[in-house]
Amino acid sequence: MENLRSGYLFPEISKREFDHRQKHPQEKLIRLGIGDTTEPIPDIITSAMAEYALALSTVGGYKGYGAEQGNKELRVAIAEKLYRNMGIKGNEVFVSDGAQCDISRLQMLFGSDVTVAVQDPSFPAYIDSSVIFGRGGKFEEETGQYGNITYMKCCPENNFFPNLSTRNTPKTDVIFFCSPNNPTGNAASYHQLKRLVEFAKSNGSIIIYDSSYAAFISDHSPRSIYEIPGAKQVAIEISSFSKCAGFTGVRLGWTIVPEELRYSNGFPVIKDFDRIMCTCFNGASSISQAGGLACLSEEGYKAMIAVVDYYKENAKIIAETFTSLGLKVYGGENAPYIWVHFPGQTSWDVFTEILSKTHIMTIPGTGFGPAGQEYIRFSAFGHRETVLEASRRLRNLYK
């Protein structure tokens, strides 16, 4: 723990928000920072949870412990609805209380001597949990990086895909890869992911692929790493109902560990992960799982995607705001995040300027790694009128 710097990004951002509110109690603060869902959950989904909860008061409907790996019906529904034609089976799906929690449980699979690579920029929990598990060295203020961790730079110059030549990317045991990416909003292409899988195969690496934003993909980018042939031998996939179903507070996610995935000694990784789920976890809330099942029903899925489309329209509004101001804008089409370039400025300076002058919360790019310098992440979660108001304020600031 000692190597970990004191501030985790998101609580730090919350603190800044709190301080700003204290200073400007009369201003209407707009939150485009932390990626927190804002729209009501479709009725068909909450009704399923309410019904399940009420049934727990009846002799016939009461249920105690569920399987640690998740309700079988939900595991099969995830496999069949979201991984159709990829050959993922229900027993390879482990239902959880969210992707962030699964990241830490996956860390338990490996000894403290494994090496880790992450995209730069990336969601901070990959690095922070790696440091907690003893895989990161000291933090170097100068580079903005922890020792012993490989930062794979992903920026417009390389189409947001790391240079996988041996010189640039050393052999690493575990590669965290998020697509559509948080924070850049970029979805990796089929050919990029094919190269990633090949790299992992030739290096004996395990990819931990985070597809939490897959429901936001608009084009033909892969929605899962398992669309790539051979990925089952090298990749674990984590994902979540948080952003697609508004389950950030309800807590429900899943991890796929294919039977084909083996350690270098041939032992199946799925057996160890199953043991970790049984020892260090005790199943996701049965009520949340009833909600997850409703999300995957025909009607529930349609309603859920309608909310995703609403957020995508928000993303379009934010992206167009900056495009019209002549700034370079990335993401937004396949993800609820818009990644805006402010050349020549530090991201904390831009963050502070936007907050103090427009009362809009954002996230400074360097919060996601040193390659986020000069960038700001805008979240597309929010009510439409709030997003439109944010757009007006930003146009006024930069006109």
Q: Which is nearer to its own copies, 211 or 289 (CB)?
A: 289
Q: Which is nearer to its own copies, 287 or 325 (CB)?
A: 287
Q: Which is nearer to its own copies, 104 or 346 (CB)?
A: 104
Q: Which is nearer to its own copies, 124 or 162 (CB)?
A: 124
Q: Which is nearer to its own copies, 68 or 374 (CB)?
A: 68
CB of 106 to its own copies, least distance (A): 11
CB of 246 to its own copies, least distance (A): 7
Q: Which is nearer to its own copies, 41 or 329 (CB)?
A: 41
132 scored as a contact of its own copies (CB under 8 A): yes
Neighbour-count burial of 382, counting CB atoms closer than 10 A to its CB (0-12 exposed, 13-18 middle, 19+ buried): buried
Q: Taking CB under 8 A as the criterion, which residues in 10-29 touch its own copies?
A: 10-11
- The whole-angstrom separation of Cα 189 and Cα 321 is 26
- Of 145, 76, 77, 41, nearest to 297 by C-alpha is 77
379 scored as a contact of its own copies (CB under 8 A): no
> Site for its own copies (CB under 8 A): which residue of 54, 137, 159, 190?
54
From residue 93, give the alpha-carbon distance in Å to each of 5, 99, 217, 255.
Answer: 34, 13, 22, 6
CB of 55 to its own copies, least distance (A): 8
> Site for its own copies (CB under 8 A): which residue of 19, 24, 56, 328?
56
3-state secondary structure the chain: CCCCCCCCHHHHHHHHHHHHHHHCCCCCCEECCCCCCCCCCCHHHHHHHHHHHHHCCCCCCCCCCCCCCCCHHHHHHHHHHHCCCCCCCHHHEEEECCHHHHHHHHHCCCCCCCCEEEEECCCCHHHHHHHHCCCCCCEECCCCEECCEEEEECCHHHCCCCCCCCCCCCCCCEEEEECCCCCCCCCCCHHHHHHHHHHHHHHCCEEEEECCCHHHCCCCCCCCHHHCCCHHHCEEEEEECHHHHCCCCCCCEEEECCCCCECCCCCEHHHHHHHHHHHHCCCCCHHHHHHHHHHCCHHHHHHHHHHHHHHHHHHHHHHHHHHHCCCCEEECCCCCEEEEECCCCCHHHHHHHHHHHHCEECEEHHHHCHHHCCEEEEECCCCHHHHHHHHHHHHHHHC
250 scored as a contact of its own copies (CB under 8 A): yes
CB of 147 to its own copies, least distance (A): 17
How many of the chain's residues bind its own copies (CB under 8 A)? Answer: 72
CB of 285 to its own copies, least distance (A): 4
Options 47-55, 166-174, 180-188, 347-355: segment touching its own copies (CB under 8 A): 47-55
Q: Taking CB under 8 A as the criterion, which residues in 275-314 touch its own copies?
A: 275-276, 278-288, 291
Q: Which is nearer to its own copies, 173 or 198 (CB)?
A: 173
Interface map 134-163 toward its own copies (x if CB under 8 A): x-----------------------------
> Site for its own copies (CB under 8 A): which residue of 83, 88, 116, 129?
129
Q: Which is nearer to its own copies, 250 or 296 (CB)?
A: 250
Interface map 220-249 toward its own copies (x if CB under 8 A): --------------------------x-xx
Q: Which is nearer to its own copies, 27 or 43 (CB)?
A: 43
Q: Taking CB under 8 A as the criterion, which residues in 60-119 touch its own copies?
A: 61-66, 68, 97-98, 100-101, 103-104, 108-109, 111-112
